[in-house]
Structure 1
Amino acid sequence: MNATNETTTARAPQVWGTLQAHDAPALIAFYVDVFGFEPTAVYADGDQVAHAQLDWPEGGGIMLGSHKPDGAWTREPGTAGFYVVTDRVDEVHRRVVDAGAEVLREPRSTDYGSYEFACADREGNHWSFGTYRGESRTAG
């Protein structure tokens, strides 16, 4: 393809991070109340969450459920890591600090043009919130 035919494309997010939790209802509440995710679907039987979809208001989201150590698709709680694009870095950081969550890296500007911070959730998963949206893709 020559350069004159290339176009920049923007696509709806289609990659969903997944994780499992020892206390999924509490972790969902933390993600909603502190991080700002929106609960789109939560299928639970008491404290056992079979599936939850939490959407990020600025695009994308995560899926999670209760830990199933013997399940075919199992993830050890506390081992996930996520990067979330947001224009509200300071707002999310303030809610994280107010909630007493562990801040791993204070807000800062990076050499690749992002403004971001990192923290751990109540089960130990690592989260980075920043303004970096990745590099532009061209249609192929």
Structure 2
Amino acid sequence: MTDPAPQTPSRPPSVWPAFRASDAPALIDFLVDVVGFRRTAVYPDGDAAAGRVAHAQLDWPEGGAIMLGSDRDDDGPRPGTAGLYVVTDHVDAVHARVSAAPGVRITREPDDPGYGGREFSMTDPEGNHWSFGSYRGEPAPRA
């Protein structure tokens, strides 16, 4: 099945999902090389050779972005606990890329849910849950 026609965004992206990873450099490489994010900024946490990331920004080519960093001993989110929905007009192409990658578990094959759009779900090598879909949400209510 082909991807549905692009939808007009109902609002610009302004919520930035942020999470942590046990191996942030490896997760960043996976999200860039396999999933298709763009590496916008990666700042080391201390000695860059230690492989720890204080902050990374990865932009989604179709709009929006995420932030992530290395796990720390504080009350922040634990690695593998994030759940994210990424809007794309290329659901089947993203599915084809990630389904062949090591460390990925497809948890829902591409389908057309009753509320509109097309989507699939997966877990990344760290255990985070991702859904990719063409559904952009309902229009924002007028104030």
Structure 1 regions of 5+ residues with no counterpart? 1-8
Q: Percent identity?
A: 58
- Scaled by the length of structure 1, what TM-score is found? 0.88
- Choose the corresponding residue for 1:133, options 128, 136, 139: 136
Quote the offset at 1:10 in angstroms: 4.6
Quote the offset at 1:24 in angstroms: 0.2
Are 1:30 and 2:25 an aligned pair? no
Q: Is the 8 A contact 2:16 2:67 kept in 1?
A: yes
2-structure distance, mates of 1:42, 1:95: 24
> What's the secondary structure of 1:107's corresponding residue?
strand
Quote the offset at 1:138 in angstroms: 3.7
Q: How does 1:35-50 map to 2 (within 5 A)?
A: 35-44=35-44, 45-46=48-49, 47-50=51-54
Quote the offset at 1:139 in angstroms: 3.3
Higher strand share: 1
Structure 2 regions of 5+ residues with no counterpart? 1-8
Aligned length: 130
Q: Which amino acid letter does the alignment assign opposite residue 57 of structure 1?
A: P
From the CA coordinates, give the structure whose radius of gyration is larger. Answer: 1
Are 1:118 and 2:121 an aligned pair? yes
2-structure distance, mates of 1:19, 1:10: 25
Report the counterpart of residue 64 of structure 2 in structure 1. Answer: 60
- Scaled by the length of structure 2, what TM-score is found? 0.86
Q: CA RMSD in A?
A: 1.4
Report the counterpart of residue 94 of structure 2 in structure 1. Answer: 92
Q: Which amino acid letter does the alignment assign opposite residue 86 of structure 1?
A: T
Cα 1:53–1:137 shift into 2, 3 Å:
same
> What's the secondary structure of 2:62's corresponding residue?
coil
Q: Which amino acid letter does the alignment assign opposite residue 80 of structure 2?
A: G
2-structure distance, mates of 1:105, 1:57: 23
